[in-house]
Amino acid sequence: MRHSPTQFLLLLATLGLISACSLLPKPPVAEKEHHTLVMHGDTRIDPYYWLNQRDSQKVLDYLIAENAYTEAMMEPTIPLQEKLFNEMKLRQKEEDITVPVFLNGYYYYIRYEEGKEYPINCRKKGILDAPEEIILDENEVAAGHSYCQVASLDISPNNKVLAYGVDTIGRRQFTIHFKNLETGKLICSKIDNTTGAIAWANDNHTVFYSQKDKSLRPYKIFRHSIKSPNSQSDALIYHETDSTFDVNVYTSKSRELIMIMASSSTSSEYRYLNANNPLGTFTLIQPRQPKLEYSVEHLGSNFYIKTNWNAENFRVMETPIAKPAMDNWKELIAHRNNVLIMDIDIFKDFLVVKERKDALIHVKVLRWADKKEFYIDFGEEVYTALPSVNPEFDTPLFVYYYTSLTTPGATYEYNMQTQEKRLVKQNEILGDFTPSNYETKRLWATANDGTKIPISIVHKKGIKLNGKSPLLIYAYGAYGYSENPTFDPNRLSLLNRGFIYAIAHVRGGEEMGRKWYEMGKMLNKQNSFTDFIRCTEYLIEQGYTSPDRIIAQGGSAGGLLVGAVVNMRPNLYKGIVAEVPFVDVLTSMLDPNLPLTTGEYEEWGNPKDSALYHYIKSYSPYDQVKPQEYPSMLITSGYHDSQVQYFEPAKWAAKLRATKTDNNLLLLKIDMNSGHGGLSGRYEYLKEQAFTYAYMLNTVGISE
C-alpha cells in the first residue's frame, strides 16, 4: 500500500518512531498591521485589516497558504471523502428529467445527462410526444470556465427568442445574451452587469432589465431593443436613488403588464406598464411609506395585493387598476394573529394562498366564483409543501412540491376544481434507502424568556437517548427566511453513520409568524443566538447527544449565528462549520461601498447610530474573539463572494488563531474560483459536500 508523505509521517508517529507534534504542518501566521478604527468615541484595533486588499499578492499568498494547510490537515480523510462522494453520487440518477411545465403553447423541462455537470434546457411544442428542442445546453455555456451560473431563462411572447444571464466569476453580475430559437444562433446583442433577468414587452424585441451599481445593488431600470448590438444607447426608465432600496423588473403572470418593484427589507413600491406599449410611461400603484410592505398580482381589471398595512402577519386586498392607491384597497383575506400569509398566486379562476402556522406551511385555495376556501391536506407531522412552477394563468391545475426530512421530494398536480391530487413525479433515491428506517419529529425547547422554539429532527430509528449519538444542529435565523425541513439524499451519509440532524428554528426567521422575525433582528438579534444555545442544551438534556458529540453548522447569516454562539458558549460544541460566514459585521456595516450594506441597515441596524453600533459590536463574531478554548472549526469562503467578502472569514480565522488558547483544529478553506453559493456543477458540489462531511465525521471520531 502506498502512503502520501503526510500519511507516512503520521504512521511513523503512531508507531512511536518520531514525535507527532514535530510533524504536523504548522498553520499560517498572518502578519499583524496596526489599523485603528474609531466611531462614537470607541477605538478598535484591527490587525488584519490588510486582508481587505483584494488581488494584493501578499493577500493571495496568505490565502494560498491557508488552503495548503487545510489540504494537508485533511489529507488523512481523503479515502473517507472519496467514499462519501461515491455514496452521494450513486444515490442520484445521473440521467434525469424534471416535470414538464406548460407555458404559452410549449412544455418546458430540464434534462441531466450522465457525466455532465450542468443541465440541458429543453421544450416540446403542444404535446409531450412532440420532437424535443434544446433551447440551451448549459454545459456548452460553461465550457472553458471553472465556474458558471446561468440565470433566469426568459422566452419572448412569440416563443422565438431566449434571453438568459451568465455569470462566470461568482459575483452575481450577469451578462444577458439573446438566442434565436429558430436558427439556434446567438443574436448580436448583449447587456453586461445585470441581475440576469429581463421582462419582455409584447412586441418581441423590447426588453427591460435592472443594472447594478459599484456595490452590486440593482439600482437602474433600462429599456433595450434586441435589434441593438449593445446597451450603450438604452433608455433609462427608472433610477432608484435611495441606497437602501433595490429595484427589479418582471412581467406579470397575466403577461399583460411590465412591473417595476423597488424594495427595502421593510418597505416596497410598485409601478406598472401595459406590455403592449413598451414606449409608454410607468404608473405608480402606491407610494412608498416607512414600514409599509406590499406585493402585487394582476387579474383582469384588478390588482390583488398582499400587504402588512395594519396587519403584522399580512392580509390580501383587492383594488381596481384604474385607482390602485391604498385609499381604494378592499380586504379580501383578513389578518390573523396566528397565521402568516407568505405568498399568493393568481389563476384565472382561483387564488392560491401560501400560509405558515406553527412553523408549518399550509396551502389554501380560494375559488373566485363563490369565494369558497379549502386547504390541501398533506398528512404528515413535519413536512414542507411549496408551490412549484405555475406560470400558466388559465388552468385549474396547481403544481406543488412536497417533502419532509424522511420523504424524498415529490411533485403533485392538484386539481382546484375537483380537489383531487395526482403524483406527477417522485424523486428516486438509488441504492439501499427505505423511508421507514428513519424517524422525524418536532420538538420544542424553551428559551430564556419562556418562548417555545421549534426544532425539526431526523435520525435512524432505534437510537438510544443515552447522550452518545453525534448530532449536527443547523440554523439560519435572519431576513425572515424560514428553514423548511426538506429531504437531502446527501444527508443519509451522516444519518447512516449514526448522526442525528436537527434544525433549530430560531427567531430571525418567520416560522412562527412575522413577530418571530422582528424578535430576531436589529436590537433583538441576540435572541437568535440564545435560542440556538437553548435548543442545543435541550437536545443534551433529552439525551440525544452531549457536548463532545455536537457539530454546529451555519452559512452566511447562519455563519454569523454560529460565530456568535461559539464566542458565547465554546464548550457546548465539539466542532463548528461556518460557511461563507458574515462575521465582521460591524466593520462591514460601516462601509456603504460594500455590496448589501445599505440595503441591510433595516436588518442589522446602521452603526452610525451609537446604540446600534455598540449592540452590533456586542455580538459581532470578529470583534468578540477572546482568549479562551474554542472547539475544532472549519471556515469556508469563496474568493469572488459578492454577499460576504472573502476577507471576513479570512480575518476571523487569523484572529482566532492568534487569540485562542487551545490546540484544536482550525481550518480555513477559500475556493479561489467561486462566490457565495460555492462551486457550480452538480459533481463539484458533491465533492465540496463530501469534504465538509468528512470534517464532521472526523471531528467526532468516525473514520469510515
Among 295, 259, 296, 263, which residue's Cα sits nearest to residue 274?
A: 259
Residue 122 has which C-alpha cell?
429543453
d(CA 595, CA 170): 13
Among 351, 307, 345, 357, which residue's Cα sits nearest to residue 328?
A: 307
d(CA 452, CA 285): 40
Catalytic, out of 205, 362, 459, 676: 676
Residues facing 333 on adjacent strands: 316
Residue with cell 430559437: 181
Q: Label residue 273 exposed, middle or buried (CB < 10 Å: 0-12, 13-18, 19+).
A: buried
Catalytic, out of 641, 671, 674, 680: 641
Q: Is 87 helix (H, G, I), strand (E, B) or coil?
A: helix
Catalytic status, residue 676 = yes
Among 570, 596, 573, which residue's Cα sits nearest to residue 660?
A: 570
Q: Is 79 helix (H, G, I), strand (E, B) or coil?
A: helix
Residue with cell 427595502: 264
Catalytic, out of 482, 493, 556, 642: 556
Among 411, 558, 419, 587, which residue's Cα sits nearest to residue 482?
A: 558
Q: What is the CA radius of gyration of the chain?
A: 26
596 vs 144, 264, 642, 679, CA distance in Å? 30, 11, 9, 22
Q: Is 463 helix (H, G, I), strand (E, B) or coil?
A: coil
Cα pseudo-dihedral 666, 630, 47, 477, rounded to 10: 90
Kind and range of the H or E run holding 198: strand 186-200
Catalytic status, residue 556 = yes
Among 645, 628, 618, 643, which residue's Cα sits nearest to residue 44?
A: 618
Contact 460, 439 (CB under 8 A): yes
One DSSP character per residue, 470-483 reads -EEEE----TT---
Q: Are strands 373-375 and 360-367 parallel, antiparallel or unpaired?
A: antiparallel
Catalytic status, residue 591 = no
Active-site positions?
A: 556, 641, 676
